[in-house]
Structure 1
Amino acid sequence: MKLRRWSGNPILTPSPDLGWEKEAVYNPGAILHQGKVHLLYRAVGEYERYSSRFGLAVSRDGFHFERVSDEPVFEPGAEYDKGGCEDPRIVKMEGEFLITYAALPKPPCEYGDFIGTIRKLREDPLHPRIHVFSHTGLLRSGDLRSFRRVAMITPPDVDDRDGVLFPEKVGGRYLLLHRPTEWTGPEYGTERPAIWLAGSEDLVHWTDHKLLLRPESTWESLKIGAGPPPLRTPEGWLLIYHGVDENFVYRAGVALLDLERPEEVVARSPYPILEPEESYEKVGDIPNVVFPTGAVVLDGELFVYYGAADKVCCVATAPLEDLVDFVLKFKR
């Protein structure tokens, strides 16, 4: 089974009139609020520093979006995110929005010739990439227009991104999915970067880290990371994630976790449910990328929002029940 792309993709493209987002808008978090889909998207205004910030767009139907402001709604500022704020994911708990994001202590340009690398990747998708160090940061917001930094919630000495909260407590604790890059080798139970699960009483101090999913199939052999926040279904937590192969092609996969014990994987598809096929997914700043970061359900239809080629925002859909039935074909 594959997700169905919307024929009008991309749903959001860089605005040449807005200097802070004129180069790229992608990897959006999404949430349904007051009858509208809110899209908190990553924006890049210039390639020299390649420092990201967040913009906000809204939609009544999940397809057609309008920006709420000509200004970014959140920008780098703290010591741990002064280099950039990337790839937001959104949940709403206890009356407020909680946003996890990749927080960069240094901008990508300080790790090497980032703009030169982007140019070379346009010609050669296998050109060596620059690795950028990041943490996972946490924000609180009442309206997705103003934000308060809570903390950096992953270890300061570990490159750890793709931090994603569950949308509700499980067993009285907050739960976090995350991807610590250095946690590999025999002592960690995985040879490649994997998805881990952690718990917390206060959203700041995270303990009981457990290996949840490791790369298994060829299409995800290099690394995997969580996508949108898990969705509660009667059969379990539906988890959409991304996987990267040895040729740096990014695809989307799907798994199902036990509702009461999410550390237990109920089912996992060995096949991707979305992969780069369209030109806007294969050609961009980073080629051959579909990167899911947001999901909402409208009238039983699952809308998955994703970044394409690190350049634009897109959406693909599937009946939620059909996707759950599909992944249940691969029970563990």
Structure 2
Amino acid sequence: MLIRIIAFLMLLAGAAPAVAQQHPAMYYSDSTHRANPTAKDPSVVRFQGRYLLYYSVPVTPEQWGIGIAASTDLTHWTKVGEIPPTQEYEKKGLCAPNALIINGKINLFYQTYGTGPKDAICHAVSTDGLHFVRDASNPVFHPTGAWTVGRAIDAEVVAFRNRYFMYFATRDPAYQIQMQGVAATSSLQTDFGHAAWQQLADSSILRPRLPWETKCIEGATCLRRGKWLYMFYAGGYNNEPQQIGVARSRDGVRWTRLSDQPFLRNGPPGSWNSSESGHPAIFRDDDGRTYLFYQGNNDHGRTWYFSKVEVKWQHNQPYLADAGAK
């Protein structure tokens, strides 16, 4: 009775009772360096008997670094390491990691941060997943041509058609449109150094054109299934809201969207990801199941959290295992 009286008095005063916010089962962030939890740009691998999650994290008020978390179930994560800036080309920061396991080692591709048009892709290698040796030829890639300002961020490297493709986001010369470009190695036998990469197109391979993509396509993450390469990508700049779309390709260069609608939308008002569901990372586990990791928040970027949804497949088309999951 007392609770009902209090609720009635609150309504008379123009206030509604608070409603507890629902969080997904996976709800991970990093508050090591900031009071507001912040973790962005996920990448997940299974390595040496556990899962490792690499992500962007602020390490000082001015610099970004790469955080490392571990899990045994893909849902509950514990921070186990960090990669701070150490090189001159990283002095303003490094972020947006992409982890790739080759011959028992983790190859990590990441971007320099804070130099605008000069941001470029770098490479490092680890035998334990925690300590990395930088490539002596870093930065290993930036795009050229009249179509681009020369910036390269959000690298995604994937083996396809007997070589490695690198997808990256860049800006147009006016620095307004964020779009996808592609480079590749000549074979699977490569050290991923600066000399290994050849730009495959003198134009964008995927440029925003749908209303929900606004002026940005970034954060590509790829998965090969049979003869197809699938790209999950972030459409829209952060918190516009950013949402996730899907395209596919048979040759790694020419891409077709699977829908003109987002594959994974931002959440409804009041949800944990109402401001965005963005920067995806697709991961295929050893049992063949695939999961889409992504970042979200409900405060327009004051905080950032990670969650995941399972992706299933029917007739070469991906769909969310729980269509209502956010």
Q: TM-score range with shorter-chain normalisation?
A: 0.7 to 0.9
- Give 2:323's aligned residue: none
Q: Contact (CA 8 Å) 1:28, 1:293: kept in 2 or not?
A: yes
Q: Extract structure 1 runs of 4+ deviating beyond 4 A.
A: 20-23
The answer to whether the 8 A contact 1:24-1:45 is kept is no
Counterpart in the other structure of 2:142: 155
CA distance in 2 between partners of 1:247 and 1:146 (Å): 33
Q: Report the Cα distance in structure 1 between the residues aligned to 2:237 and 2:285, rounded to whole angstroms.
A: 29
2:102 alignment counterpart:
93
User: What's the counterpart of residue 10 of structure 2?
Assistant: none
Pick the aligned partner of 2:44 from 30, 38, 62.
30
Partner residue of 1:8 out of 8, 25, 28 = 25
Q: Deviations over 1:134-187 (max 9, x none)?
A: 222222112211111111123387222111111x2533x3321012213579xx
C-alpha distance 247-42 of structure 1, shift in aligned 2 (>3 A): closer
Match runs of 1:303-322 below 5 Å: 303-309=291-297, 310=301, 311-322=303-314
Secondary structure in 1 aligned to 2:69? Answer: strand
Give the AA of the match of 1:170.
R
Q: Secondary structure at the match of 2:272?
A: helix
After superposition, the Cα gap between the structure-2 partners of 1:231 and 1:14, relative to the gap in structure 1 and judged at 3 Å, is same
- Cα shift at 1:242: 0.6
Question: In percent, how many aligned pairs have the same letter?
Answer: 19
Larger RCO, structure (CA 8 Å, separation 6 or more): 1
Indicate the residue corresponding to 1:291 in structure 2.
279
Taking a change above 3 Å as real, the CA distance of residues 325 and 169 of structure 1, as seen in their structure-2 partners, is closer
Shift of 1:74: 0.8
Q: In the alignment, which residue of structure 1 is the partner of 2:259?
A: 269
Alignment partner, residue 92 of structure 2: 83
Offset, 1:305: 1.5
Q: Which has the higher Rg, Structure 1 or Structure 2?
A: 2
SS of 1:213's equivalent? coil
Compared CA separation, residues 7 and 288, structure 1 to 2 (3 A) = closer
Change (3 A) 1:276 1:133: farther
Gaps of 5+ in 1: 107-130, 186-190, 328-332
Report Cα offsets for 1:216-262 as digits up to 9, x if no partner. 2111131102433x21212511211111069832111111221xx21
**Cα distance in structure 2, aligned partners of 1:139 and 1:62:** 24
TM-score (norm 1): 0.72
In the alignment, structure 1 residue 249 sits paired with structure 2 residue 249? no
Question: Structure 1 residues 246 and 218, CA, compared in 2 at 3 Å: closer, same or farther?
Answer: farther
1:213 pairs with 2:206: yes
The CA RMSD measured in Å over matched residues stands at 3.1
Deviation of 1:63 (Å):
0.8
**8 Å Cα contact 1:300/1:321 also seen in 2:** no
Q: Distance between the aligned counterparts of 1:58 and 1:323, measured in 2? A: 33
| Distance change in 2, residues 1:321/1:246 (3 Å) | closer
- How far did 1:272 drift? 0.8
Alignment of 1:59-70 (within 5 A): 59-68=71-80
User: For residues 318 and 92 of structure 1, what CA distance do their matches in structure 2 show?
Assistant: 22
Q: 2:170 aligns with which of 176, 180, 201?
A: 180
| Structure-2 change in CA distance of 1:294 and 1:76 (3 Å) | farther
Residue 58 (1) aligns with residue 75 (2): no
In the other structure, the counterpart of 2:177 is 192
Distance 2:257 2:292 in 1: 20
Give the Å deviation of 1:23: 4.4
- How far the C-alpha of 1:323 sits from its partner, in A, is 8.8
Q: 1:207 to 1:45 in 2, by over 3 A?
A: closer
State the aligned residue count.
277
Note if 1:141 corresponds to 2:126. yes
Which letter maps to 2:125?
R
Q: Which residue of the partner structure matches residue 116 of structure 1?
A: none
SS at match of 1:194: strand
Deviations, residues 58-98 of structure 1 (Å, cap 9, x unaligned):
12221111222xxx431112122111111211111233211
